[in-house]
Amino acid sequence: MAALIRKLLESVVSARKNSTSDSSSTSSSYASSLGELDPIPTELLMQILRLVGPKEAARLSVVCKAWRSLVADDELWMFFWQTQQQQEPRWESVLFSETYLRSGPPIQPLWSEVPRLSLMSIYGQRAQVPGAIIIDGGSGYCKFGWSRYACPSGQSATFLEFGNIESPMYSRLRHFFGTIYSRMQVKPYMQPVVVSIPLCHYDDTESAKASRKQLKEAIYRVLFDMNVPAVCAINQATLALYAARRTSGIVVNIGFQVTSIVPILNGKVMRKVGVEVTGLGALKLTGFLRELMQQNNINFESLYTIRTIKEKLCYVAEDYETELSKNTQASFGAGGVGWFTLSKERFQTGEILFQPRLAGVRTMGLHQAVALCMDHCHSAELTADDSWFKTVVLAGGSACLPGLAGRLEKELHGLLPPSVSNGITVVPPPFGADTAWFGAKLISNLSTFPGPWCMTKKQFRQKSKVKLW
């Protein structure tokens, strides 16, 4: 059936090509007619176009105005996307990125006028994008892979802790990136690269600005010395926000050693209203679970196994006091080690995010830090839109604990006045522990990539020369 339809369409295309030698009046009639196919209902013609696929459909668009009108239908190209682009992000993410990210920074506000997109054109442009290597630096470990892949292909230690930490930054980064390219078995000069920078040097002080600038320039210098053609270096929080299909909001990143609360407006970190940091991270959560297990005579020293148990069994209680009276026992079998049974430890571990004193940590709870950040954003009146900071996006492996998003949202509504709390939404990590990596994937698969997002070696050298002068 499909072969017969393809043959019919090929004959129509051939007929239209031959019509170029006809009179202008004949050409005019062809412009608004499908000729032999005119009696066929439009719905059936669209089914034919779906069968022949995107390449043949694109060819038909140049035959005449009537075919062009049919082929340009957005629903047709949404169908192609959903059925043939298996390694692409979800359609909603593609639409978001092509609407708001394709022009690069500064990011267009979500409430501004949305440009009209030609999905057919974007489909073709994205098919020509070279793709990129994605290196998500992480604060605990790094994830790397191809932008065309569905998920990261490997992981290693983060470059903040890679090699001898007393070595110069350039040497450590050169060793780190060299190891990544070796593991991926690819030459650096073959692909652009998107690097997510771990959240560090949080303050808005001059020394913190200098440290951030020094790290970013070192990343550019090392990669360009390795002959990488183009580099996009962007912080993890911003990438996590993009992965959640937002350009403004507050990102709560539960990192390896600390948790950071980062306000972002139109893709830019707003350090002037404060980036709040609590002394609790994934390492403290895992260590506290080990302490709780030891109190119940469950002794196991491997932090890796305990982290696995945390990921499989732990959750955050909606109401801590109520949960204490419930039977919450559950078991998990760690391969080659044995079975572990936990009860109250399952929700006591995540509770230290809200009650740090349970773990002997003297710092504000997560809900208090986020509320303080929101209060700063509200008071600063940075934009006429007073809701930009009311979307909270969670990021980081420990942010995937079940119940965390609901509990944080509940605490924020109870802690803040109605004028601020109305409309607050807490979004769980949209792609789990790999959320920042997927944010980088959105950028590296854009129809305009690498253009507006990347710096080339020539641009970097020119920028460095200007600074020297």
Could you give the CA distance from residue 330 to residue 443 in angstroms, rounded to a whole number? 41
DSSP letter (8 states) at residue 354: T
Grouping H, G, I as helix, E, B as strand and the rest as coil, residue 296 is: coil
DSSP 326: S
Place of tokens 């694109």: 58
- 259-265 and 276-278 beta bridge pairing: antiparallel
Question: Do the beta carbons of residue 153 and residue 453 sit within 8 Å?
Answer: no
Domains along the chain? Answer: 2-72 (no CATH), 133-245+434-468 (3.30.420.40), 249-429 (3.30.420.570)
Q: Which residue reads 């183009």 in tokens?
A: 230
- In this structure, what are the phi and psi dihedrals at residue 398, rounded to the nearest 5 degrees? -70, -15
> 265-284 b/e with 16+ CB inside 10 Å = b?
bbbebbbebbbbbbebbbbb
DSSP 135: E
Among 119, 186, 120, 121, which Cα is nearest to 148's?
186
The pTM for the full model equals 0.89
Question: What does each of the 469 residues of the chain score in pLDDT, given as a tens digit?
Answer: 555 556 556 655 565 555 555 444 444 444 567 777 778 888 888 998 898 899 889 888 887 888 888 999 999 998 888 887 666 678 789 889 999 999 999 898 877 776 778 899 999 999 899 889 999 988 778 999 999 898 999 998 887 666 665 678 899 899 999 999 999 999 999 999 999 998 776 777 888 888 889 999 999 999 999 999 999 999 999 999 999 999 999 999 999 989 999 999 999 999 888 777 888 999 999 999 999 999 988 877 688 889 999 999 999 999 999 999 999 999 988 767 788 899 999 999 999 999 999 999 999 999 999 999 999 999 998 887 889 999 999 999 999 999 999 999 999 999 999 988 999 999 999 999 999 999 999 999 999 999 999 999 999 999 877 554 4
The Cα 300–Cα 257 span in angstroms is 21
Q: How far apart are alpha carbons 136 and 367 in whole angstroms? A: 27
Provide DSSP, 407-444: HHHHHHHHHS-HHHHTT-EEE--TTGGGHHHHHHHHHH
Which pairing describes strands 133-136 and 193-197: parallel, antiparallel, or unpaired?
parallel
Surface-to-core class of residue 439, CB atoms within 10 Å of its CB (0-12 exposed, 13-18 middle, 19+ buried): buried
Helix (H) or strand (E) holding 230: strand 230-235
